Amino acid sequence: MHRTFIAARSAAWLISFASLLGCSSTTLVDDDSKLGQVHLRATTAATDYEAENSPAVCQGTIDSDHTGFSGTGFCNTTNAVGAFVEWTVNASAAGSASLTFRYANGTTTDRPADISVNGQVVSAAHSFAGTTNWDTWATQTLNANLVAGSNTVRVTPTTANGDANLDKLTVDAPTDTAAPTTPQNLRSTNVTSNSITLAWDASTDNVGVAAYDIFNDGNHMDEAAGNVTTKTLAGLVPKTTYRLTVFARDAAGNVSASSNQVPVTTSPTSDTTPPTAPGNLTASNVGNSSVTLTWTASTDDVGVTGYDVLAGGTPIITNVQGTSTTVNNLAADTDFTFTVRAKDAGNNSSNPSNAVTIHTGSVPPGGGTPGSVTTVSSGWSIPWGLAWLPSGTAIITERETFNVFTLTQSGTKTMVGQVPNAVGTGGEGGLLGIAVDPNWNSNHFIYVMHTASEGNRIARMTFNGTSLSGYTILVQGIKKNRFHNGGRLKFGPDGFLYATCGEAQTPDLAQDKNALNGKILRMKTDGTPAPGNPFGTLIYSFGHRNPQGIAWDSAGRLWEAEFGDTKFDELNLITPGANYGWPTCEGDCNVSGMTNPKKTWTTGEASPSGITIVNDVVYMAALRGQRLWRIPLNGTSAGTPTAFFVNQFGRLRTVEKVPGQSLLWLSTTNVDFNGNQPSGSDKIFKVTIN
């Protein structure tokens, strides 16, 4: 069982590597049963270990009196039998590695040495023949088995001349690409008002489980060591539901699939008496996006711990300390009714304060602002991708039904087919983005991104105007997980297909240029890399966490929105080959080689999915933030964001400009596990741009 799992996962990885290398046309498969045709190929990584750098041991002197060495010098061992050089080298997986020793021997006499790995001689009296002079370097290469983790490699001279001068050791070792098995049977074994103890059945791994990561939905909460199968989460809020999953991670950063998800609600405390209601709520300094609220303090039998500010009955700021706060990021030219409630340590809420209603000012013109909203179509369940056919009719996917519909400008909805091989992830995977070929009139091709058995895929289908057929895989085996599957597909102004890939809850993959996760991809319509891509692979940019929004401005610059973890969401200006920082950076940071976002929001204000650009204004649909963000662009900089429709329509997924009209279409995602609305309650709106 264990072996089967590892093999299947490695096969999926291999296919994504094949796609990276631009040879996906030779590995195209049209159904899962053909996956077995692909043969495994070991992946390796070469590392240099200089002889002069600790923890290498040089039984002699570190010299630099000859030319041509690497690093800062070389090891000149004492001229004696047994005066050795030893390196400590790391391998992320066990297996055969190649060891290359760079040396100089300025004499005409061979300087043989025993080469040993972890104390075992692997080549006795190995020849290090003369290299003409001490400035001329040569190499000796041999293969030896390494263990996973730390290894010692020693070169011990067998003659009184000692070793040749040794410059460095280069090790090309196997890397571990096999993820641990999925942790099973996650359960809570103890619950208090502020803690939850979890237990699970151990995962196994070819090398070893380094740690278990615990998530609350898509957010990392805590971790446990790899040799334990229980963890107590502390500092939790009483009477609050956490939806918990656990993932196993190995030392190489490979992450398992998600465990079962366990909802656990912390218990109440003995404090059951809520605070009194705050009084005398008043508003001042009303601007076009902000207002200051002030109230009188509540009292409590134990103690007030903070105040929540609600707009239209929905909390928008929680745990305010003190009796005044400024509410930012409000929609312009809109009525808001605020109330405030007090909380105590038992998470008991007071009755609301008096309500106060304000009207925000309007945004200065320039680029347009959203105006009236009307419903184009209702009865949807998580509509996700939306693209335009040349007629102006939209083609739209549904995430969990895997159905594809057309929707005309006048609101006529027609189901045109279902995408085969699509599966859900019990989270955010499923049938995601859709794109229409710029030459659809002649080739009738459309493209979809969806989750399948082996991972996320990009596939092509034929849409003849009536029905879907001809499912063909272009890229597959992009690692999937419960959350962070990316999913947006769009054609750029350059005619190439762009796709956004999430990091599949495996943060290290975002920095790994051998993986497609945590990347924006750019490809030809056969799924091979577009010409001019920065690394010659499908990858266009990297260091992304869960990107779902892409759009181009009037100068052809690519802008992207992505979900942060618990702190900051990002709007990025994408340049080819740039590194957007995840997981080292979330939002702004100061790390050389990493590109900062142009704008950030707290995850409560945004959690952005789709974006579109109209007259160099970005419109960004926010899920958790339940609003449409408007961000004016000025060349390569982004101006002040303003929000529209805050909490009016629920969670917003996709926004697209209607071609040739000053109109947006905007879709909701209220039928998911966060929105909790019944099937069929999602809608597609049209929004005028004035």
Nearer to Ca ion, 206 or 485 (CB): 206
CB of 39 to Ca ion, least distance (A): 20
Q: Does 205 bind Ca ion (CB under 5 A)?
A: yes
CB of 109 to ligand GCU, least distance (A): 9
Q: Which does 250 bind (CB under 5 to 8 A by kind): ligand GCU, Ca ion, none?
A: Ca ion
Q: How far apart are CA 447 and CA 10, in angstroms?
A: 26
- Using CB under 5 A, which of the segments 11-19, 155-163, 246-254, 373-381 binds Ca ion? 246-254
Nearer to ligand GCU, 76 or 669 (CB): 76
> How many alpha carbons fall within 13 Å on the CB side of residue 96?
4
Give the residue carrying structure tokens 């997980």. Answer: 481
Q: How far is CA 573 from CA 311, 322, 561, 646, in A?
A: 32, 38, 9, 25
Strand-pairing partners, residue 190, are: 197
Q: Which of 176, 454, 586, 682 binds Ca ion (CB under 5 A)?
A: 176
Give the residue carrying structure tokens 């929680």. Answer: 318
- Using CB under 5 A, which of the segments 82-90, 133-141, 171-179, 384-392 binds Ca ion? 171-179
Q: How far apart are CA 29 and CA 546, in angstroms?
A: 27
Q: Which does 182 bind (CB under 5 to 8 A by kind): Ca ion, ligand GCU, none?
A: none
CB of 250 to Ca ion, least distance (A): 4
Order of all β-strands in the sheet with 383-388: 383-388, 394-398, 403-407, 413-418
Token code pair at residue 138? 């040569």
Nearer to ligand GCU, 59 or 506 (CB): 59
Instruction: Report the site for Ca ion in 491-550 (rule: CB under 5 A).
Output: none
Nearer to Ca ion, 250 or 562 (CB): 250
Nearer to ligand GCU, 157 or 518 (CB): 157
Q: How far apart are CA 275 and CA 226, in angstroms?
A: 43
* DSSP summary character for residue 508: G
Give the residue carrying structure tokens 């050795």. Answer: 84
CB of 661 to Ca ion, least distance (A): 52
Q: Which does 481 bind (CB under 5 to 8 A by kind): ligand GCU, Ca ion, none?
A: none
- Using CB under 5 A, which of the segments 117-125, 202-210, 292-300, 482-490 binds Ca ion? 202-210
x/- string (CB under 6 A) for ligand GCU, residues 152-191?
----------x--x--------------------------
Q: Does 255 bind Ca ion (CB under 5 A)?
A: no
CB of 156 to ligand GCU, least distance (A): 15
Closest Cα partner for 192 from 154, 153, 138, 240?
240
Q: How far apart are CA 302 and CA 238, in angstroms?
A: 15
CB of 158 to ligand GCU, least distance (A): 15
Give the residue carrying structure tokens 């039984």. Answer: 59
Nearer to ligand GCU, 66 or 599 (CB): 66
Return the amino acid letter for 566.
Answer: T
Token code pair at residue 159? 């003659």
Q: Does 209 bind Ca ion (CB under 5 A)?
A: no
Token code pair at residue 616? 């160099």
Q: How far apart are CA 313 and CA 327, in angstroms?
A: 15
**Site size for ligand GCU, by CB under 6 A?**
7
Q: Which does 407 bind (CB under 5 to 8 A by kind): Ca ion, ligand GCU, none?
A: none
Q: How far apart are CA 254 and CA 249, in angstroms?
A: 6
CB of 212 to Ca ion, least distance (A): 14
Token code pair at residue 407? 């929707």
Cβ-based neighbours of 365, under 8 Å, separated by 6 or more: none
x/- string (CB under 6 A) for ligand GCU, residues 374-403?
------------------------------
Instruction: Report the site for ligand GCU in 46-75 (rule: CB under 6 A).
Output: 63, 66
- Using CB under 5 A, which of the segments 58-66, 248-256, 371-379, 476-484 binds Ca ion? 248-256
CB of 135 to ligand GCU, least distance (A): 10
Nearer to ligand GCU, 66 or 630 (CB): 66
Nearer to Ca ion, 176 or 570 (CB): 176
List of E strands, 92-160: 95-104, 113-117, 120-126, 138-146, 149-157
- Residue whose Cβ sits closest to ligand GCU: 76
Token code pair at residue 577? 């080959």
Token code pair at residue 682? 């999602």
Q: Which of 134, 336, 563, 644 binds ligand GCU (CB under 6 A)?
A: 134
Q: Does 207 bind Ca ion (CB under 5 A)?
A: yes
Q: How far apart are CA 648 and CA 656, in angstroms?
A: 19
Nearer to ligand GCU, 77 or 626 (CB): 77
Cβ-based neighbours of 442, under 8 Å, separated by 6 or more: none
CB of 86 to ligand GCU, least distance (A): 17
Q: Is 507 helix (H, G, I), strand (E, B) or coil?
A: helix
Query: 338-341: long-range contacts (C-beta < 8 A, 24 or more apart)?
Result: 338/281, 338/283, 338/291, 338/293, 338/309, 338/310, 338/311, 339/281, 339/309, 339/310, 339/313, 340/278, 340/281, 340/293, 340/295, 340/307, 340/308, 340/309, 340/310, 341/277, 341/278, 341/307, 341/308, 341/310
Token code pair at residue 435? 């794109």
Helix (H) or strand (E) holding 62: strand 60-63
Nearer to ligand GCU, 166 or 643 (CB): 166
Nearer to ligand GCU, 65 or 301 (CB): 65
- Using CB under 5 A, which of the segments 34-42, 220-228, 244-252, 649-657 binds Ca ion? 244-252
CB of 199 to Ca ion, least distance (A): 23
Q: Does 98 bind ligand GCU (CB under 6 A)?
A: no
Token code pair at residue 463? 């849409």
CB of 57 to ligand GCU, least distance (A): 17
Q: Which of 43, 44, 70, 79 binds ligand GCU (CB under 6 A)?
A: 79
Q: Which of 10, 27, 76, 350 binds ligand GCU (CB under 6 A)?
A: 76
Q: How far apart are CA 672 and CA 58, in angstroms?
A: 62
Q: Which does 213 bind (CB under 5 to 8 A by kind): Ca ion, ligand GCU, none?
A: none
x/- string (CB under 6 A) for ligand GCU, residues 14-53?
----------------------------------------
Closest Cα partner for 282 from 344, 215, 338?
338
CB of 207 to Ca ion, least distance (A): 4
Q: Which does 50 bind (CB under 5 to 8 A by kind): ligand GCU, Ca ion, none?
A: none
* Chain length of the chain: 690
Q: Are 662 and 614 in contact (CB under 8 A)?
A: yes
Q: Which of 20, 75, 85, 178 binds Ca ion (CB under 5 A)?
A: 178
Q: How far apart are CA 361 and CA 232, in angstroms?
A: 48
Token code pair at residue 466? 């009536």
CB of 179 to Ca ion, least distance (A): 6
CA 485-486-492 angle, 5° bins? 150
Token code pair at residue 2? 């264990």
Q: How far apart are CA 600 and CA 587, in angstroms?
A: 6
List interacting residues with ligand GCU (CB under 6 A): 63, 66, 76, 79, 134, 162, 165
List interacting residues with Ca ion (CB under 5 A): 176, 178, 205-207, 250
